[in-house]
Structure 1
Amino acid sequence: MGRPPDGGPDRRGRVSAAFGEPVATYRGSTDPDAPLVVLLHGRGSDEQQIAALADHLPQQLAYAAVRAPIAEGGGYAWFANRGIGRPVASSLAETTAWFRAWLDAEHAGRDVLLVGFSGGAAFAGGLLLAEPARWAGAAILLGTLPFDAGVPTGPGRLSGVPVLVAQGDADTVIPRELLDRTWTYLHDESGATLTAHRDPGGHGISAGTLAVLTAWLTATAREH
């Protein structure tokens, strides 16, 4: 676990799937007992771009930046969608199964925190809502939960689960309706142990968001 034995940054999962073998880039701690933070990039991006975020996060944690399985726009995506922030339910179910198979093969029994940005936030939210007890926590950064996409979003679904939500008031990429619905659900219905951050920024991880994420990861990992 952690980085590959040769110390190199990349490792391909051993799980066969219709999407091919997962590709992950590792950063941070090589201690196999350290909590693992899985970084999930946005639509059209890749694992290398979001792996750079780990350099600014607590180094006592281990980080795995995973490449999404669907090629799109010179990068990769976590699901087919019906519009921005609106996953096709069958596609989300397929990529969720693919991701969980990789995680079970590579990191079984390990405490895992999810950090998703934009489209990766919707995917992280899907994983979280499908199996709330499986995760040590999840950060939903500049994105929406996957409503109406085949995962439960009922009251109390995330009871006691540490969740961070961060949004920018000037974000014009994710539909405001979905951002507001995510904010309201997490605050008023989900039951999550919630940390929430808003700033005036747009669709990007601001210095303020980074500081809140750093503090949240440190505090949440300490509890596990």
Structure 2
Amino acid sequence: MTSFPDPVVLRRGSADPQAPLVVLLHGRGADEASIIGLVDHLPTGPSYVAVRAPIAEGGGYAWFANRGIGRPVAASLAETMAWFETWLDGEYAGRRSVVLVGFSGGAAFAGGLLLAHPGRYAGAAVLHGTLPFDAGVPVTPGRLAGVPVFVAQGDADTVIPRELLDATWAYLTTDAGSLTTTWRDAGGHGVSSGALAALGKWVGER
């Protein structure tokens, strides 16, 4: 198994160990500093942590090796998910409510974590990304039954392949069985002000 470094983490919000935890997962080739600013648009009350992905890539970091944009290598995804959950268990053992918020590559990683262990998380936001189809995690009907999910997409997104975006939207609004909140606008590969407002409302409800 690959040996990864301990995660680099930025923390904001509540220091109360009983507060809900919101974990922010950045996009491919970025880092934790690129996503921590989302906290400015999210409710006060939770603890927020932005985690650096473990694989160095392109001046930034990635959550998994891939075989094309939005298509994780299954073995790599399994390793990094195990690394993440080992950290989470050690750093935030006993935290009752953990919500994942991922952008782009971080969205695929958040989706993988949720699909692998749907009962572990209080919900996940998939922002301008795809679920990790054909990557070793179950994507079966009813897999996310009753789990809150937020999905945001832009019609002009040309970074993530359109067929993966469409498959993600279709799964999360039908077969998954999740309690899915959707946001769609005409934008590209970036979180719009409208999506941020909708995300903030969704996080507050968790």
Same fold (TM over 0.5): yes
Give yes or no for contact 2:103–2:126 (8 Å, CA) kept in 1: yes
Greater relative contact order (Cα 8 A, min sep 6): structure 1 or 2?
A: 2
* Correspondence for 2:58: 73
1:140 pairs with 2:140: no
Q: Superposition RMSD on alpha carbons, in Å?
A: 0.8
| CA distance in 2: counterparts of 1:140 and 1:182, whole angstroms | 9
- Aligned to 1:94, which of 79, 87, 94? 79
* Correspondence for 1:36: 21
* Aligned pairs for 1:1-224 within 5 A: 18-110=3-95, 111-220=97-206
* CA shift for structure 1 position 59: 1.5
Structure 2 residue identity aligned to 1:213: L
1:114-152 Cα shifts (integer Å, max 9, x gaps): 000000000000000000000000000000000000000
Give the fraction of aligned pairs with identical amino acids, expressed as a percent.
Answer: 71
* CA shift for structure 1 position 31: 1.5
Q: Secondary structure at the match of 1:134?
A: coil
* CA shift for structure 1 position 52: 1.3
* CA shift for structure 1 position 32: 1.3
Structure 2 residue identity aligned to 1:67: R
How many residues matched?
204
TM-score (ref. length: structure 2): 0.98
Q: Which runs of 5+ in 1 are unaligned?
A: 1-16
* Correspondence for 1:9: none
* Correspondence for 1:5: none
Structure 2 residue identity aligned to 1:93: A
Q: Secondary structure at the match of 1:101?
A: helix
Give yes or no for contact 2:41–2:197 (8 Å, CA) kept in 1: no
Structure 1 residue identity aligned to 2:43: P
* CA shift for structure 1 position 188: 1.1
| CA distance in 1: counterparts of 2:175 and 2:71, whole angstroms | 20
| CA distance in 2: counterparts of 1:49 and 1:194, whole angstroms | 26
| CA distance in 1: counterparts of 2:52 and 2:143, whole angstroms | 28
